[in-house]
A and B are shown apart, each in its own frame.
Chain A
Amino acid sequence: MSRPTPVSYVPAWDIWVRLFHWALVLGVGAAALTGFLGDARWTLVHVASGLTATGLVLARIVWGVFGPTHARFADFLPRPGAVIAHLSGRDRRHRGHNPLGALMVLALFAAILALAGTGLAGLGGWLRIGPLAADLGTDTGRMALDLHGGVALGVLALVALHVGGVVFESRREGENLARAMVTGRKQARPGDAPVAPARARGGLALGLVAGLGAALGLGGATLSARPAPNLPVAVTDPLTAQECGACHMVYHPSLLPAASWSDLMAGLDAHFGENAWIDAGDAAEIEAWLTAHAAETVDTAPARLFVRTDPAAPATLTETPAWERLHDDLPDGLFARAPIFTRANCAACHADAATGRFSPFAIEIPKETPK
Chain B
Amino acid sequence: MTRFLALPLILAAAAVPALAQDTSPAQLRSGYEAESGAAADPAAGKAFFLAEHSGGKPETPSCVTCHTSDPRAAGQARTGKTIEPLAPAANPERLTDSAKVEKWFGRNCNSVLGRDCTAAEKANIVAWLASF
Q: Which residues of A contact B (CB under 8 A)?
A: 247-249, 269-270, 273-279, 339-342, 344-345, 348
How near does chain A come to B69, taking the closest CB pair, in angstroms? Answer: 15
Alpha-carbon separation in the docked complex, A270 to B110 (Å): 10
Q: Contact check: which of B58, B59, B76, B111 meets A341 at CB < 8 Å?
A: B76
Q: What mask results when residues 50 to 74 of chain B are scored 1 for a CB within 8 Å of chain A, else 0?
A: 0000000111100000000000000
* Bound CA span A339–B82, Å: 11
Question: Which residue of the partner chain, among B58, B78, B81, B108, contacts A275 with CB atoms under 8 Å?
Answer: B108
A342 near B107 with CB under 8 A, answer no
- Give Cα distance in the complex from A277 to B78, angstroms: 17
Complex Cα gap A277–B116 (Å): 12
- What distance in Å separates the Cβ of A345 from its nearest Cβ neighbour in chain B? 5
A247 touches B79 (CB 8 A): yes
Q: Which of B83-132 contact A (CB under 8 A)?
A: 103, 106-108, 110-111
Tell whether, in the assembled complex, residue B59 and residue A273 are in contact, meaning their CB atoms are under 8 Å apart.
yes
- Chain B CB within 10 Å, residue with most, of A249, A273, A278, A345: A273
**Contact, CB under 8 Å: A341 / B107:** no
Majority SS at the chain B contact face: loop
A348 touches B57 (CB 8 A): no
CA distance A249 to B60 in the complex (A): 20
Asked if B81 and A248 make an inter-chain contact with CB atoms under 8 angstroms apart, the answer reads yes
- Do A345 and B79 touch (CB < 8 A)? yes
Kindly state the separation between the CA atoms of A339 and B103 in the bound complex, as whole angstroms: 28
| Cβ–Cβ contact A274 & B107, under 8 A | yes
B22-60 CB contact bits vs A (8 Å, 1 = yes)?
000000000000000000000000000000000001111
Q: Does B11 contact A (CB under 8 A)?
A: no
User: Is there an interface contact between B79 and A342, defined as CB atoms closer than 8 Å?
Assistant: yes
What residues make up the interface of B, taking CB atoms closer than 8 Å to A?
57-60, 76-81, 103, 106-108, 110-111
Please name 9 pairs of A and B residues whose Cβ atoms are closer than 8 Å in the assembled complex, sorted by A: A249-B81, A273-B57, A273-B78, A274-B60, A275-B107, A276-B107, A277-B103, A277-B107, A345-B79
Contacting residue for A340 out of B59, B76, B77, B80, CB 8 A: B80
Question: Which of A247, A269, A274, A345 contacts B59, CB < 8 Å?
Answer: A274
Closest to B57 in A: A273
Q: Which 5 A-B pairs have the closest CB atoms?
A: A341-B80, A248-B79, A273-B59, A275-B110, A275-B111
B57 touches which of A275, A277, A342, A344 (Cβ 8 Å): A275
A344 and B79 alpha carbons, distance in the complex (Å): 7
Q: Is the CB of A269 within 8 A of B110?
A: yes
Residues of A near B58 (CB, < 8 A) are 273
Residues of A within 8 A of B81 (CB): 247-249
Measured CA separation A342–B60 after assembly (Å): 15
Task: State in angstroms the CA–CA spacing of A286 and B76 once bound together.
Answer: 25
Report A-chain residues with C-beta under 8 Å of the C-beta of B59.
Answer: 273-274
In angstroms, Cα B108 to Cα A269, docked, is 10
Are B77 and A248 neighbours in the complex by a CB distance under 8 Å?
Answer: yes
Tell me the nearest residue of chain A to B110, going by C-beta. A275
Q: Inside 8 A of A275's CB, which chain B residues have their CB?
A: 57, 106-108, 110-111
The answer to whether B57 touches A274 (Cβ under 8 A) is: yes
Q: For A340, what are the chain B residues with a Cβ–Cβ distance below 8 Å? A: 80
CB distance from B91 to the nearest CB of A (A): 15
Q: Which chain B positions have C-beta within 8 A of A277?
A: 103, 106-107, 110
A30 vs B76: C-alpha distance in the bound complex, in angstroms?
Answer: 42
- A269 and B106 alpha carbons, distance in the complex (Å): 10
Cα separation A287 to B57 with both chains bound (whole Å): 25
B55 to chain A, nearest CB (A): 12
Give chain B nearest CB distance to A329 CB in angstroms: 22
> Are B106 and A339 touching (Cβ within 8 A)?
no
Q: Is the CB of A339 within 8 A of B80?
A: yes
Name the B residues within 8 Å of A341 (CB-CB).
76, 78-80
Contacting A342 at CB < 8 Å: which of B78, B103, B108, B111? B78
